[in-house]
């Protein structure tokens, strides 16, 4: 079953952002049993060549692979899908027009995706036109990131966009945009509830970041089925910090 089908079926899926331009973090998460990763082109030094290698690593370990493209420019979608990514997270989708454009960029029959079968996605030219077009239109998952007050105001129309598969609730960006410092603030909580309600009513999947069991339970109650837990950077930082603390406890005279 494709990752898109699993997402749309409402499976409980756990993923992580990848910000290190190397294949090993993806391989490690795949070995551990994570369901998917999101390669972060927006906030990390990752280019198309890095994406290509990481996608291949994901495929080797049966790991779902999405790419957060740098911005809402639909032209950035083509390359990552040709590399074989399972779909895209698109930042700052704050209008029906943007939602329509990103869906169109990811689809052949109902959109305007540029055709090239001589890619990993096209089995390097072995697939026929009909097979390639059908498989890619079924496979490409399109998730809009809702992280602006304007997007929340227009959320009823955005989630009704034909072909939009899911929304990601950008609570961090919303916190800053609303002038808050706590993702649990009332404006952010209200926005999160509104997004979830309208997404569910329109059959659109829900994804969000979570930082613990209590937060996760609240998201599940709102209908979120896919969650992102930290990133390869945060995993490395936390493990290194904890290990160093243990070492310092044994070396009391260690000089920093």
Q: Is residue 157 part of a domain?
A: yes
* Global confidence as pTM: 0.95
Q: What's the confidence (pLDDT) of residue 212?
A: 85
Geometric angle at alpha carbon 54, from 82 and 204, rounded to 5° = 65
Q: Is residue 255 part of a domain?
A: no
Q: Is residue 256 part of a domain?
A: no
Number of domains in the chain: 1
Q: Is residue 57 part of a domain?
A: yes
Q: Cα dist. 229→44, 211, 214, 239 in Å?
A: 17, 7, 13, 15
Q: What's the confidence (pLDDT) of residue 163?
A: 96
Q: Is residue 194 part of a domain?
A: yes
Q: Residue 230 — φ and ψ, nearest 5°?
A: 60, -150
Q: What is the DSSP letter of 244?
A: H
* pLDDT for 237 beyond 80: yes
pLDDT digits (tens, 9 = 90+) for 48-93: 999 999 999 999 999 999 999 998 888 899 999 999 999 999 999 9
Q: Are strands 36-40 and 226-231 parallel, antiparallel or unpaired?
A: unpaired
Q: What's the confidence (pLDDT) of residue 255?
A: 65
Let me know how long the chain is.
256
DSSP 3-state helix, strand, coil percentages of the chain (rounded to 5)? 50, 15, 35
- CATH code, domain with 97: 3.20.20.60
The number of C-alpha atoms within 13 Å of 105 and in the hemisphere containing its C-beta is: 25
Q: Is residue 240 part of a domain?
A: yes
Q: Is residue 49 part of a domain?
A: yes
Active site residues: 43
* pLDDT for 248 beyond 90: no
pLDDT digits (tens, 9 = 90+) for 204-235: 999 999 988 889 999 999 999 999 999 999 99
Cα 120 to the center of its chain, rounded Å: 20
Q: In percent, how much of the chain has pLDDT > 70?
A: 98
Q: Which residues constitute the domain of residue 80?
A: 3-250
Query: Among candidates 14, 21, 7, 144, which has minimal Cα distance to 89?
Result: 144
């Amino acid at each position: 079953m494709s990752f898109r089908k699993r997402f749309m079926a409402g499976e409980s899926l756990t993923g992580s952002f990848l910000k290190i331009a190397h294949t090993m973090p993806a391989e490690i998460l795949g070995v551990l049993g994570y369901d998917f990763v999101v390669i972060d082109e927006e906030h990390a030094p990752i280019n198309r060549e890095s994406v290509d290698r990481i996608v291949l690593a994901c495929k080797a370990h049966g790991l779902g692979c999405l790419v957060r493209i740098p911005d809402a420019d639909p032209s950035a979608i083509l390359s990552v899908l040709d590399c074989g990514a399972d779909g895209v997270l698109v930042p700052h989708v704050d209008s029906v027009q943007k939602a329509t454009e990103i869906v169109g960029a990811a689809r052949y029959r109902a959109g305007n995706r540029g055709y090239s079968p001589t890619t990993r996605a096209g089995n390097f030219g072995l697939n026929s036109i009909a097979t390639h077009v059908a498989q890619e239109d079924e496979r490409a998952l399109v998730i809009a990131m809702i992280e602006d007050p304007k997007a929340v105001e227009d959320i009823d129309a955005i989630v009704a966009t034909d072909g939009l598969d899911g929304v990601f609730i950008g609570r961090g960006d919303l916190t800053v945009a609303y002038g808050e410092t706590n993702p649990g603030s009332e404006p952010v909580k209200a926005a999160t509830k509104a997004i979830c309600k309208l997404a569910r009513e329109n059959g659109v999947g829900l994804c969000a970041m979570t930082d613990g069991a209590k937060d996760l339970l609240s998201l599940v109650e709102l209908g979120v089925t896919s969650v992102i837990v930290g990133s390869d950077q945060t995993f490395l930082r936390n493990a290194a910090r904890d290990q160093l603390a243990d070492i310092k406890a044994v070396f009391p005279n260690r000089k920093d």
